[in-house]
Structure 1
């Protein structure tokens, strides 16, 4: 196993130790975004269990990511023209 950076984060009331190559500042920003998105979704749907909330959060964040990827492709294409 890698001896990467260890960063303790809190997401939706749970503590996690993240081990990886990214610097702790980056890991904390990621955790903050996930926590915020989970709280937004929970606010919209109070009847979700933790597993459903985590899956919906993943789907939402992945959707945002794919939209940004497409926007970058469009901008790169415009730049080439």
Structure 2
């Protein structure tokens, strides 16, 4: 997709404004930003002494952990489907 066809949206994450750009809808990008903001705030409630950089890294680690778990679950389900079909 060319640069001029990308959607731009301004979002707030943990008190900072970011300009997101992508091919997804603005609603999708706002949802993702909101989920990141919510996760950062959740982690902060358990770790009040963290600066925003460390909080962002912990949020990224948490997101990747969830991603890997879901990816593994999808792969297991795909294997089950193959076994049931075959």
Would you call these one fold, judging by a TM-score over 0.5? yes
Gap regions ≥5 residues in structure 2: none
Instruction: Calculate the TM-score normalised by the size of structure 2.
Output: 0.90
Rounded to whole Å, the distance in 2 between the matches of 1:67 and 1:29 is: 21
Instruction: Calculate the TM-score normalised by the size of structure 1.
Output: 0.95
Rounded to whole Å, the distance in 1 between the matches of 2:36 and 2:7 is: 19
Q: Give the aligned partner of residue 49 of structure 1.
A: 51
Gap regions ≥5 residues in structure 1: none
Superposition RMSD in Å: 1.1
Greater Cα radius of gyration, structure 1 or 2:
2
Rounded to whole Å, the distance in 1 between the matches of 2:3 and 2:56 is: 26
- Shift >4 Å, 4+ stretches: none
